[in-house]
Structure 1
Amino acid sequence: MRPEGLPESSSWPVVTPLSPSVVYSSQSPDALDDQYEGRAQGFTYSREGHPNAQVVAARLDAMEGAEGGVVTGSGMGAVSAVLMGLLKTGDHVIGGNQLYGRSLRLMAEDLPRLGIATTLADPGDVASVEAAIRPETKMVLVEVLSNPTLRLADIDGLAALCKAKGLLLVVDNTFTTPRAFRPFDHGADIVLHSITKLLAGHSDAMLGYVVAKDPALTERMRIFSVTTGMTPSPFDCWLAERGMLSFDLRFDRAEATAARLADHLAAQAGVKRVLYPGRADHPDHAGAMALLDSHGCNMVSFELDFGEGGARAGRAAANAFARAAEGLSFAPTLGDAGTTLSHPASSSHRGLTAEAREALGMSEGFFRVSVGLEEPEALLAVFTRAIAAATA
């Protein structure tokens, strides 16, 4: 199949060529007009688009059932394109109360500085979101599964609410991916991704993606991203395309191992609780299995049982666990080919007070695991040894 975005030819390369050129030459002013006004296909200046970004966008468009998606230089670029490209001074946006840490910071500090009001609400409770709506509310932004406690948003209920109130429903589909969930099929207006994570899958490409049902909204976000320089690197796009070719296989393997790991952790004496949507003891299990078509995804969160020693004992247990988890990367990321450990209290949610983290269910002994492609039995053995070290 001929890759989209390549020049016309009777033959083509099997691998998409890397196109690092910053500028593209046109034949004449009239030819340039034809490109800018949509009568001809072509590229002008790579900040406005380039072949490698077009190939990645086309792949994700097909996965999400969308058209014309925009690739940005990072996942936060995609979030910013939505919030700052579509909202204006005097508007109000509601966000899920367990969004990614930098999304929370953008809503708590940067948007108010620009005169855009924000409120956080529980996306699993439609009534709490409805109670936060104001006359100037324009948008609701949620993740399908919260970061890092893996609680489920009531997407169908939120979609019905937003439609009734004339609001845009924006869904960050990074954790779940189109393999488990397609937000447009459930009433979302805008979908975004951090391609950096599971889609690219190798921790070597940083990209984001955003697209709206309404092409006019997508165009506004594209113009904002071009104007503010959210240009994706051609090389990162080239790497991400390579990663996306194996995405389905990687997702299925990691998901199967994650289910085994969750059950294994739940059986360990040193573990206080395990959060995995595929387990019957997950608070949103029934809803998750219905919404995600029985997918549990590759993320597992758990809390060490470190006794009654308080935060200091919890941090000591967390340090001991991370040091003993040999072969695993302790890093604030997810979706790599290898399993990674994240400690919200010292990374993604370090900006919150200890009391605020506790209220959200994130103690010093709380870890988020992004399960990779290791041999399952070897991975379980690593966790067994690390838990023993943490609770010794």
Structure 2
Amino acid sequence: MTDHRTSLTRRPDWPTSTSRPVVTPLQPSVVYASPDPDALDAQYEGGTGFTYAREGHPNATVLAQKIDALEGVDGGIITGSGMSAVGAVFLGVLKAGDHVIGADQLYGRTLRLMTEDLPKFGVQTTLADPTDASAIEAAIRRETRMIVVEVVSNPTIRIADMEGIAKLCAERGILLMVDNTFTTPRGYRRFEHGADIVIHSVTKLLAGHSDATLGYAVAKDPALMEQIYVANTSWGMTPSPFDCWLAERGLQSFDLRYDRAEATASALAEALSGLEGVLQVLHPSRPDHPDHNRVTSVLGDRPGNMMSFEVAGGRAAANALTRAVPDLPFAPTLGDVGTTLSHPASSSHRALTPEARAALGISEGFFRVSVGLEDPDLLIRELTHAIAESQKP
């Protein structure tokens, strides 16, 4: 007769040890066994531990706690992607009849979610210029529930009037949701400046290696946070334990990566400005940045690693530029250890009409650069050469 203790279908207890692992263990289990129904009830009524991975698992908890520490808050959750973090907030907090104001320069998919999907659920939306608090104020209605902004816009690198917008929200009792993906807590701690809800695409700078797809959401108000958690669980926005494990590994070098890339971005922006064929270079370190008078008050001395530039010549020049720098990945992402080049008109903002893109300042010659950890001189040489090639007849 088969001994159940040695059956291959029965899993033994995890080996005990007086020492502990230095690296966080990867725990891919989908389900967790409880000793009896009373113990399971106790867990669901607020006890500790795990039951089913859709509701939470150890690797997600470890990662969330580390990002909580960066943001100076408790209780954040990890979601399956950056957009699922946005979705969890919207689904958990908003209801039919609510009105949401979004910055008109949000990430392309967030814009699409607001303008095309939220109205299907009876939530009305308005887009307004985040660099002008009076434009945001003019869009407020009696039913306005939330304002959604990025401090540094993607991909146009404009700086929102955070002080003015936060003041409006506080005075009117409106929730302020901030996408902190670009600037990260290293560049700007949102809760210290009036935010009620913060989200991240962990996929980007926090994980930092282009091998994990995750999001993060947190609210200051525990009751609001519970609503977001429930929506995330009910809609199945479950993060992969393996991706959480990878992201936690990436997070260990986050400070060093951010500081190095930030310094390189400033040097690259300076080198590209003034080159023949370059119509503009956008980086908060530049004195000619359109919101330069607001950079210090919002970002202090942390301009970040994200920059954009525009070349003359439209799509033909854009094609020539990317072909002239084959070692620089042309990809619609940011935050990798290596520098990546993206073209919003053909990727993140392709769903917008040419007229809508033009209104945001996104032309066919507009590029976004996520600066990585290469030697600054190498990047300057590569992009200087590529820009020169793009301007050849």
TM-score using structure 2 length: 0.95
State the alpha-carbon separation in 2 of the partners of residues 55 and 290 from structure 1.
33
Among candidates 183, 189, 192, match of residue 182 of structure 1: 189
Cα distance, 1:287 vs structure 2: 1.2
Q: 1:266 aligned to 2:278?
A: no
Quick check: 1:344–1:350 contact (8 Å CA) kept in 2? Answer: yes
Q: Which residue does 1:385 correspond to in 2? A: 385
Q: Structure 1, residues 94-136: CA drift from partner, whole Å, max 9, x if none?
A: 0000110110000011000111000000111111111111111
Quick check: 1:172–1:192 contact (8 Å CA) kept in 2? Answer: yes
1:169 match: secondary structure:
strand
State the alpha-carbon separation in 2 of the partners of residues 122 and 8 from structure 1.
58
Q: Which residue does 1:310 correspond to in 2? A: none
State the alpha-carbon separation in 1 of the partners of residues 315 and 55 from structure 2.
46
| Structure 1 gap segments, 5+ residues each | 1-5, 307-313
Cα distance, 1:337 vs structure 2: 0.7
Q: How do 1:156-167 residues align onto structure 2 when only pairs under 5 Å count?
A: 156-167=163-174
Q: 1:41 aligned to 2:36?
A: no
Quick check: 1:19–1:51 contact (8 Å CA) kept in 2? Answer: yes
Cα distance, 1:283 vs structure 2: 1.2
State the alpha-carbon separation in 2 of the partners of residues 34 and 293 from structure 1.
47
1:148 match: secondary structure:
coil
Cα distance, 1:354 vs structure 2: 1.0
Q: Which residue does 2:11 correspond to in 1? A: none
Among candidates 96, 121, 124, match of residue 117 of structure 1: 124
State the alpha-carbon separation in 2 of the partners of residues 135 and 291 from structure 1.
29
TM-score using structure 1 length: 0.95
Amino acid at match of 1:329: P
Q: Which residue does 2:139 correspond to in 1? A: 132
Q: 1:19 aligned to 2:27?
A: yes
Amino acid at match of 2:348: S
Runs of 4+ in structure 1 off by over 6 angstroms are 6-9
Cα distance, 1:10 vs structure 2: 5.4
Task: Count how many residue pairs are aligned between Structure 1 and Structure 2.
Answer: 379
Q: How do 1:67-86 residues align onto structure 2 when only pairs under 5 Å count?
A: 67-86=74-93
Q: How do 1:54-93 residues align onto structure 2 when only pairs under 5 Å count?
A: 54-93=61-100
Amino acid at match of 1:266: S
Q: Structure 1, residues 9-54: CA drift from partner, whole Å, max 9, x if none?
A: 854210000000000001111111221112x310000000000000
Quick check: 1:81–1:224 contact (8 Å CA) kept in 2? Answer: yes
Cα distance, 1:217 vs structure 2: 0.6
Amino acid at match of 1:159: A
Quick check: 1:149–1:301 contact (8 Å CA) kept in 2? Answer: yes
Quick check: 1:277–1:289 contact (8 Å CA) kept in 2? Answer: no
Q: 1:323 aligned to 2:335?
A: no
State the alpha-carbon separation in 2 of the partners of residues 277 and 181 from structure 1.
13
2:145 match: secondary structure:
strand
Pairwise CA RMSD: 1.4
State the alpha-carbon separation in 2 of the partners of residues 383 and 329 from structure 1.
12
Q: Which residue does 1:366 correspond to in 2? A: 366
Q: Which residue does 1:252 correspond to in 2? A: 259
Q: Structure 1, residues 134-190: CA drift from partner, whole Å, max 9, x if none?
A: 111100000011111100111111111001101000000000000000000001100
Cα distance, 1:268 vs structure 2: 1.1
1:303 match: secondary structure:
strand
Quick check: 1:168–1:190 contact (8 Å CA) kept in 2? Answer: yes
Q: How do 1:202-351 residues align onto structure 2 when only pairs under 5 Å count?
A: 202-306=209-313, 314-351=314-351
State the alpha-carbon separation in 1 of the partners of residues 100 and 129 from structure 2.
14
Quick check: 1:278–1:289 contact (8 Å CA) kept in 2? Answer: no
| Structure 2 gap segments, 5+ residues each | 1-13
Amino acid at match of 2:149: V
Q: Structure 1, residues 279-317: CA drift from partner, whole Å, max 9, x if none?
A: 1110112311221121110011000023xxxxxxx1000
State the alpha-carbon separation in 2 of the partners of residues 381 and 295 from structure 1.
25
Q: Which residue does 1:96 correspond to in 2? A: 103
Among candidates 149, 153, 157, match of residue 150 of structure 1: 157
Amino acid at match of 1:347: S
1:68 match: secondary structure:
coil
Decide whether aligned partners of structure 1 residues 10 and 291 sit closer, same or farther in structure 2, where only a CA change above 3 A counts.
farther
Among candidates 90, 105, 113, match of residue 106 of structure 1: 113
Q: Which residue does 2:8 correspond to in 1? A: none
Cα distance, 1:83 vs structure 2: 1.3
